[in-house]
Amino acid sequence: MGVEHRIDLPLASPTVRPDAALAELTTVRIGGRPGQLVDCFSEADLVAAVRQTDSRGGPLLVIGGGSNLLAGEDLNALTVVRDRRGGARAEEREGRVLVTVEAGASWDALVEWTVGRGWAGLAALSGIPGSVGAAPVQNIGAYGAEVGQSIRSVRVFDRRSGALVELDAAALGFAYRDSALKRSLSGAAFPTPRWVVLDVSFALAAHPHPGVPGSDQAAESRSDRGVTAAGGHDQEADGSACGPAAVLELGGTVGSAGSGSQSGATATVGHDQLAEALGLAVGETAALTDIRRAVLAIRRGKGMVLDQSDHDTWSAGSFFTNPLVSEEIAAELPPDAPRFAAAGDLVKLSAAWLISRSGVERGQGMRPGARATASCKHVLALTNRGGATYADVMELADWIAARVADRFGVRLTAEPVLIPAAV
């Protein structure tokens, strides 16, 4: 028998009144009041709520942290179901640990717990808002890691068959910001996938290990770097919506060369911006605690760690995915355009580079005093400066996408789930 651990993790969704609007349940703070809001505190209640909503034939939204969602105002027909379960259990055996977490738990609380236990695999994914259940749907990733690299299986409720099913990593079909779960989010199932995540099992290393493969996400850090080598923040905004530039403050031992030699679990650093923040080269190792601290600092510099007082964090995260194009289209771009090999002989481009080189600046909106603007820290995030609507954000998104298409002939795809209305 291995060593067993159990914990109740903080939940991804906040405590709200029964008639709360989606503006209170999403990180972009936009969205009207749904027809019904149902909180579920057990798996049986969650499955029953999904079954009942589907039997009525109305649209269903199972929501976690609301961090990858933009909704309109007219949502009278929408039923919102919240998973209020955050239990986690782990079994540690022979240098490996299997961690199973209920879908409603906060993603970053899980990462913090695993790093604190010395379990390697998730540290580079620190600071990403949202729930554990949403992580495999989007195959979240950052700084040299994707969650699909650490997932062993996902247990789901199949809305089509009415059965509880366990999907292994192969069945989940992970790809860049994609999975079989996400691909089922269409047709009558929208805006919730066919498979509703109940819990997720992760296979992590309980001792220092070689880390995860290198990442092609360095494009984003080079093209729209939120942190300079000197620790300052590149400021390109017009100043109308943006305050003083943020400064990267790592603190502690982070940033000192050789941090990988400290005691405790380590992982290989597979991303150039993270390596720079740690004072290391890509491929060297660092302590998990140092990796987490550095990632959180970098994300704060980009407005990607939630802060109620910072409107740059009032967003749905990165609004566009990095485009996948043919080699012929990639060859037509300027020589300095970041590009990386992707599956199927495709080339991955940097959406942030395309946006900034098409003339969009940080903090820019459609007009002076706009309620929706590009983040003052990171052009890939579209932010609510206060009182913004679905239409405000989509007007800005469409304008940015049109500029990129006109300048480079590349189509940008929105990353968040978009619910214009449900009436």
Q: What is the pLDDT averaged over residues 84-103?
A: 95
What are the residues facing 165 on neighbouring strands?
A: 156
Question: Mean pLDDT in the chain?
Answer: 87
* CA atoms of 72 and 153, how far apart (whole Å): 33
* pLDDT tens profile 130-185: 999 999 999 999 998 999 999 999 999 999 999 999 999 999 999 989 999 999 99
Res 276 pLDDT > 90: yes
| Secondary structure element (H or E) that encloses residue 399, with its range | helix 390-408
pTM of the model: 0.85
Decide: 59 and 77 in contact? Cβ < 8 Å: yes
In the chain, how long is the greatest CA-to-CA distance? 64
**Percent of the chain topping pLDDT 90:** 77
* pLDDT tens profile 388-411: 999 999 999 999 999 999 999 999
User: What are the E-state strand segments in 45-163?
Assistant: 60-63, 69-71, 79-83, 87-93, 96-102, 141-142, 145-146, 151-158
| Secondary structure element (H or E) that encloses residue 300, with its range | helix 288-301
By C-alpha distance, which of 360, 357, 352 is closest to 396?
A: 360
Q: What is the pLDDT of residue 2?
A: 77
Decide: 410 and 329 in contact? Cβ < 8 Å: yes
| Secondary structure element (H or E) that encloses residue 39, with its range | strand 36-40
* pLDDT tens profile 132-144: 999 999 999 999 8
By C-alpha distance, which of 159, 211, 154 is closest to 185?
A: 159
Please, which pLDDT band fits residue 243 given cuts at 50, 70 and 90? low
Res 226 pLDDT > 60: no
Res 75 pLDDT > 50: yes
In the chain, what are the domains?
Answer: 1-207 (3.30.465.10), 221-301 (no CATH), 311-419 (3.90.78.10)
* pLDDT tens profile 318-368: 999 999 999 999 999 999 999 988 888 999 999 999 999 999 999 999 999
Residue with tokens 């929105």: 414
Any idea which residues carry the catalytic annotation?
A: 177, 318, 415
Please, which pLDDT band fits residue 222 given cuts at 50, 70 and 90? very low
Q: What is the pLDDT averaged over residues 55-80?
A: 95
173 φψ region: left (φ > 0), alpha (ψ -120 to 50), beta (else): left
By C-alpha distance, which of 48, 272, 253 is closest to 143?
A: 272
**Percent of the chain topping pLDDT 70:** 86
* CA atoms of 168 and 104, how far apart (whole Å): 20
CA distances from 318 to 5, 23, 29, 314 (A): 34, 18, 15, 11
Decide: 71 and 390 in contact? Cβ < 8 Å: yes
Q: Between vectors from CA 162 to CA 156 and to CA 168, what angle results, nearest 5°?
A: 30
Neighbours of 149 (CB within 10 A): 18
CA distances from 338 to 17, 52, 197, 216, 301 (A): 46, 48, 35, 10, 21
Q: What is the pLDDT averaged over residues 227-249?
A: 39
Decide: 93 and 4 in contact? Cβ < 8 Å: no
What is the β-pairing status of strands 339-341 and 372-374?
A: unpaired
